[in-house]
Amino acid sequence: MPTRTARTAWTGGLQDGSGQVELASSGVGKFDVSFPKRTADSADGTTSPEELIAAAHSSCYAMALSAQIGNAGGTVQSLDVNADVTLGPDPAGGFHISTIKLTVRGKASGIDAAAFQTAAEAAKAGCPISKALAGVGTIELDATFEG
């Protein structure tokens, strides 16, 4: 299996510094990062590790759910997956990812709502990114079958 690479170039201190994260393996882009913007309510044109984790988790989960629906005999028509990753203070000091909420709305033929829910839970447990994030306090799932 392949290894994927991202690279960050950073200058300055935590509060006054900034950097750029590059998606090196795919070459699809470089994105600005900054600690003050990471902890602000508005991202203001910069990304953050949490947003990158959200992107990884939502895409991984969509793939895992597609596989689970197929294993249940269904055919995916559409999946719309959001991942909300929350950064918060760590009681032990510093910061940590306190919660992740996966929200999925799915349409598939060949299965019913109960089979969709079973597939959604199995995908949450089996997604490699979910497994990598096992140290997160709570990973919530809100799955709705739309037909």
The first and second tokens of residue 88, run together, are 């918060």
58 in helix, strand or coil? helix
Residues 71, 129: Cα–Cα separation, whole Å = 20
pLDDT tier for residue 21 given thresholds of 50, 70 and 90? very high
CA distances from residue 66 to 55, 144, 147 in whole angstroms, order as listed: 17, 14, 15
Asked whether 88 and 78 are in contact (CB, 8 A), the reply is no
The rounded mean pLDDT for the chain is: 95
Asked whether 123 and 64 are in contact (CB, 8 A), the reply is yes
Residues 97 and 141 in one domain: yes
Query: Residues 31-43: pLDDT tens digits?
Result: 999 999 998 888 8
Q: Tally the C-alpha atoms within 13 A of residue 17's C-alpha that lie toward its C-beta.
A: 9
Q: Could you tell me if residue 75 is inside a domain?
A: yes
Residues 23 and 66 in one domain: no
Residues 102 and 78 in one domain: yes
Q: Could you tell me if residue 91 is inside a domain?
A: yes
Q: What is the mean pLDDT of residues 32-61?
A: 94
Residues 32 and 57 in one domain: no
Q: What total number of domains does the chain contain? A: 2
Query: Residues 91-108: pLDDT tens digits?
Result: 999 999 999 999 999 999
Q: What is the mean pLDDT of residues 66-84?
A: 98
pLDDT of residue 28 exceeding 90: yes
Residues 135 and 75 in one domain: yes
Q: What is the mean pLDDT of residues 59-69?
A: 98
pTM: predicted TM-score of the whole model, two decimal places: 0.92
CA distances from residue 59 to 12, 84, 139 in whole angstroms, order as listed: 32, 13, 15
pLDDT of residue 137 exceeding 90: no
Residues 58 and 109 in one domain: yes
Q: What is the CATH number of the domain that holds 80?
A: 3.30.300.20
Instruction: Report the pLDDT value the prediction gives residue 41, as an integer from 0 to 100.
Output: 87
Beta-carbon contacts of residue 124 (< 8 Å; ≥ 6 apart)? 61, 64, 102, 130, 139, 141
Residues 93, 99: Cα–Cα separation, whole Å = 17
Residues 24 and 57 in one domain: no
* Residue range of the domain that includes 136: 49-145
Residues 16 and 65 in one domain: no
